């Protein structure tokens, strides 16, 4: 007897429905075809034990299973439940009348309990598009999948529950998730707050500008000056995620199985990979492509601490995603795209010893050593970082102050107002949402300078030996500073402040 059941495979952040055809005929054997990986090939052992422990069995006949489309690679143990129900239905151990109305996924334990899967959200989206009545999956993934409207999502803990449901012996209750209500109810404030930061007013000002315009930023300073502390607090002043951003971010994290039981991510991600990370782990890829750290940071912050310690090859592969805000991974038979629109925050010491030009430093580095250290970071990568700022250690009198600094929620209000100005400015452009994303055309249109501002910028570039790549960055940052002051026209003091934030472009820093 031939029976069809339905599962799903995730490629990139999109899902493809997989038709599992189970045919049972005279003879003996178990044949699984359709490009399954080893985890799927081993499923017959898990299925046999799970069925036996719940009063069922694999029939002693010839079982042929095809996973279509047969030219698409399938991976993972999430098809266990799909295959098990197909075998039970094809051997007439359960009723198969309504089986084709549901998409079914889940990994089986030997006792029949069902373990969580990856990619529940994109699978649920595809199931709803293709008109399935419902989606049966592990209970731990139910809230995640229930974000999708017009699809009954049934979270189950054991294969017996699913069998009884199709046999009409019990009723499964669909998981209800009011996406909008839950989103606005669960919006939380980040753990770290700028009120904890003593002193560093100029650096906090930089972070506010970076957040307001979505600018990439690099902090340069000796150990203990507060670079990491400041970076961890950046998400607390970024505007709250919109519902669309939350769904987009949740979808990426769903693919790698990092969504918690709450179902919907409401805080902007903050990713801080170690400097030993590989290029594949950072940008994504692998034999079976998975999102990397830069995609997991989508709509949030990617923090690279001790930037020169990262392998140069790792940093170089970031250049294209920083520009295009997406990662394209190509293989012989397919291509996948992962979104990667994030703010890059990097930190570094000014020299290998960390205390260049500090007369009280315990370790000193020669200018040649410092130059070699700084040259680990390529010009094209620095070209994509708008703000360079030097961080100096906080003096004792500031550290010992009892008074708290300005809290994040006050700074965030100013950032939100500046972002609203930018949203209105770019409302007719789907690809540009804030100042850091402007290209040459938008810079020419929205960053026009008066004569005194233009003269100031010209003199600064000549006297400070600023590189040509600094020109556009200064204009973008100036535009953001003007937006924070709700000014339509970029003024000379906006330009003057933006010029200060190009430390690494000055002669003597980088060759």
Sign of CA dihedral 205, 207, 208, 213: positive
What's the pLDDT at 354?
59
Domain boundary assignment for the chain: 2-177, 186-412
| Residue carrying the six token digits 């799927």 | 40
DSSP annotation of 187: -
Q: For the whole model, what pTM was predicted?
A: 0.90
H or E segment and range at residue 93:
none
Give alpha helix (H) positions in 134-260. 142-145, 159-166, 179-186, 201-213, 227-232, 243-255
What's the pLDDT at 380?
82
Pairwise CA distance, residues 5 & 353, whole Å: 62
What's the token pair of residue 310? 């990262």
Would you give per-residue pLDDT tens digits along the chain (511 residues)?
Answer: 899 999 999 988 999 999 999 999 999 999 999 999 999 999 999 999 999 999 999 999 999 999 999 988 899 999 999 999 999 999 999 998 999 999 999 999 999 999 999 999 999 999 999 999 999 999 999 999 999 999 999 999 999 999 999 999 999 999 998 877 777 766 666 778 898 888 888 999 999 999 999 999 999 988 888 899 999 999 999 999 988 899 999 999 999 998 877 678 888 999 999 999 999 999 998 878 899 999 999 999 999 999 999 998 899 999 889 988 999 888 777 788 999 999 999 999 887 765 555 555 555 667 777 777 777 888 888 888 999 998 888 876 776 676 788 999 999 999 999 999 999 999 988 788 999 999 889 999 999 999 999 999 999 888 887 777 788 899 999 999 999 999 999 999 999 999 989 877 654 444 4
Give alpha helix (H) positions in 187-302. 201-213, 227-232, 243-255, 279-283, 293-296
Q: Which of 242, 243, 221, 240 is nearest to 230 (CA)?
A: 221
What's the pLDDT at 351?
74
Cβ 44 vs Cβ 30: under 8 Å = yes
What's the token pair of residue 457? 């910028």
Long-range contacts of 352-359 (CB under 8 A, 24+ apart): 354/222, 354/223, 355/222, 358/222
What's the pLDDT at 43?
96
> Helix, strand, or coil here: 222?
coil
Sign of CA dihedral 155, 157, 161, 163: positive
> Helix, strand, or coil here: 83?
helix
> Helix, strand, or coil here: 278?
coil
Residue 327 has, within 13 A of its CA and on its CB side, a CA count of: 29
Cβ 33 vs Cβ 67: under 8 Å = yes
Query: What is 2-177's CATH topology?
Result: Ribosomal Protein S5; domain 2 (3.30.230)
Residue environment code for 240-263, b if the CB has 16+ CB neighbours within 10 A, otherwise e = bbeeebbbbbbbbbbbbeebeeeb
Pairwise CA distance, residues 351 & 390, whole Å: 13
**CA-to-CA separations, 476 to 235, 378, 387, 419, 486, in angstroms, rounded:** 21, 21, 10, 14, 15
What's the token pair of residue 81? 């439940």
Pairwise CA distance, residues 242 & 248, whole Å: 10
Q: Give the architecture (CATH level 2) of 186-412.
A: 3-Layer(aba) Sandwich (3.40)
Residue count (the chain): 511
Q: Which of 52, 424, 111 is nearest to 435 (CA)?
A: 424
What's the pLDDT at 508?
47
What's the pLDDT at 287?
78
β partners of residue 348: 220
Pairwise CA distance, residues 387 & 498, whole Å: 8
Give alpha helix (H) positions in 20-155. 38-41, 43-52, 80-90, 120-129, 142-145
């Amino acid at each position: 007897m031939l029976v069809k059941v339905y599962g799903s495979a995730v490629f990139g952040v999109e899902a493809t429905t997989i038709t599992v055809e189970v045919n049972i005929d005279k003879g003996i054997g178990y044949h699984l075809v359709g490009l399954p990986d080893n985890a799927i090939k081993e499923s017959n052992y898990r299925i046999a034990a799970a069925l036996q422990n719940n009063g069922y069995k694999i029939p002693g006949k010839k079982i042929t299973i095809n996973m279509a489309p047969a030219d698409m690679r399938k991976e993972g143990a999430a098809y266990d439940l799909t295959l098990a129900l197909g075998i039970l239905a094809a051997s007439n151990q359960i009723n198969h009348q309504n089986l084709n109305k549901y998409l079914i996924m889940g990994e089986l334990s030997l006792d029949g309990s069902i373990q969580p899967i990856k990619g529940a959200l994109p699978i649920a989206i595809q199931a709803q598009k293709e008109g399935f009545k419902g989606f049966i999956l592990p209970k731990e993934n139910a809230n995640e999948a229930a974000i999708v409207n017009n699809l009954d999502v049934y979270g189950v803990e054991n294969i017996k529950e699913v069998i009884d449901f199709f046999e009409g012996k019990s009723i499964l209750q669909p998981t209800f998730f009011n996406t909008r209500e839950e989103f606005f109810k669960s919006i939380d404030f980040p753990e770290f707050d700028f009120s904890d930061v003593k002193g560093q007013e100029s650096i906090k000002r930089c972070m506010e500008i970076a957040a307001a315009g979505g600018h990439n930023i690099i902090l340069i300073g000796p150990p203990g000056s507060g670079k990491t502390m400041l970076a961890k607090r950046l998400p607390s002043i970024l505007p709250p995620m919109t519902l669309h951003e939350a769904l987009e971010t949740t979808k990426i994290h769903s693919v790698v199985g990092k969504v918690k039981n709450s179902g919907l991510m409401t805080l902007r991600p903050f990713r801080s990979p170690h400097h030993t990370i590989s290029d594949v782990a950072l940008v994504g890829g692998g034999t079976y492509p998975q999102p990397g750290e830069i995609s997991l940071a989508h709509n949030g912050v990617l923090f690279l601490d001790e930037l020169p310690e990262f392998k140069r090859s790792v940093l170089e592969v970031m250049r294209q995603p920083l520009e295009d805000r997406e990662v394209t991974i190509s293989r012989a038979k397919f291509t996948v795209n992962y979104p990667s629109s994030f703010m890059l925050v990097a930190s570094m010491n000014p020299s290998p010893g960390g205390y260049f030009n500090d007369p009280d430093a315990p370790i000193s580095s020669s200018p040649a050593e410092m130059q070699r250290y700084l040259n680990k970071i390529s010009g094209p990568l620095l070209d994509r970082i708008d703000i360079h700022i030097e961080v100096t250690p906080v003096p004792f009198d500031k550290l010992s102050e009892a008074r708290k600094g300005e809290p994040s929620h006050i700074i965030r209000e100013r950032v939100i107002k500046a972002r609203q100005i930018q949203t209105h400015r770019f409302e007719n452009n789907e690809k540009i949402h804030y100042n850091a994303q402007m290209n040459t055309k938008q810079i020419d249109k929205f960053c026009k300078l008066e004569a005194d501002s233009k003269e100031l910028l010209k003199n600064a570039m000549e006297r400070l030996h600023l590189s040509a790549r600094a020109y556009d960055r200064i204009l973008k940052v100036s535009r953001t500073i003007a937006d924070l002051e709700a000014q339509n026209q970029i003024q000379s003091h906006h330009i003057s402040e933006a010029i200060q934030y190009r430390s690494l472009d000055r002669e003597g820093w980088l060759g």
